[in-house]
Every structure is written in C-alpha cells, then in structure tokens.
C-alpha cells in the first residue's frame, strides 16, 4: 500500500493527521486576519476561526436556537400528547 502524506487535500477539502501539539491547536482556532472558516488542526474539514467576529455571531445563533429548543421541550405536557382523531371525507 502506498504511503500517504499526513496532510493535504482530497476533492478540495483539507485533512491533517499529524500529531497535534497544543500550540498548533491554539493557533488554528485563533488566526487574526483570516476568514471565518480555517483548516482544522487535526482531522478532516474546516473549523471556526474565533478571531473573526462572524464566528461569534454564528455561535450566538446556535446557542439561541438550542436555548429555544430546550424551552419548547419543557413546555410540552402530557395533555398535549393525547391522540387526535382525524376524519377524512
């Protein structure tokens, strides 16, 4: 079997399977001047660049959606889960 490089791209998607160091992990998530998505320090694909303000907006939207989902799940009672009869003509 041919030896594959530990990092590169497949179909335009980056991958990196080199052993991660703490410095590389921290620098991957904080890259001032770069776009919102940056290459992952380990694995396949992209991750959020926390130095970009757009990443914080995306995280706030996700947190708000999760909070809304948790609140709506708490409001359902067993009375709401009763079977409903549907008549079709």
Q: Is the dihedral angle over the CA atoms 46, 35, 29, 69 positive or is it negative?
A: negative
Tokens found for residue 49 = 């660049």
Query: Is 85 contained in some domain?
Result: no
What is the share, in percent, of the chain residues with pLDDT greater than 70?
Answer: 90
Task: Please check whether residue 14 lies inside any domain of the structure.
Answer: yes
The number of domains in the chain is: 1
Structural domain range at position 33: 7-75
Per the prediction, the chain carries an average pLDDT of: 88
pLDDT at site 81: 73
In a domain, 2, yes or no: no
Please give the model's pTM, rounded to 2 decimal places: 0.66
Q: Would you call 74 helix, strand, or coil by DSSP?
A: helix
In a domain, 16, yes or no: yes
Q: 49: which residues sit within 8 A by CB, 6+ positions away?
A: 29, 30, 31, 34, 35, 36, 37, 38, 55
Task: For 30-79, write each residue's pLDDT tens digit.
Answer: 999 999 999 999 999 999 999 999 999 999 999 999 999 998 876 655 55
Residue 83 resides in a domain: no
Please report which helix (H) or strand (E) contains residue 16, including its range: strand 13-16
């Amino acid at each position: 079997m041919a030896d594959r490089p530990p990092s590169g791209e497949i179909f335009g998607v980056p991958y990196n399977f080199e052993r991660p160091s703490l410095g590389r992990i921290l620098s991957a998530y904080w890259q001032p001047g770069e776009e919102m998505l940056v290459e992952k320090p380990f694995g396949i694909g992209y991750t959020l660049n926390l130095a970009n303000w757009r990443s914080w907006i995306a995280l706030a939207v996700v947190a708000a959606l999760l909070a809304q989902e948790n609140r709506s799940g708490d409001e359902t009672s067993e009375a709401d889960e009763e079977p409903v009869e549907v008549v079709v003509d």
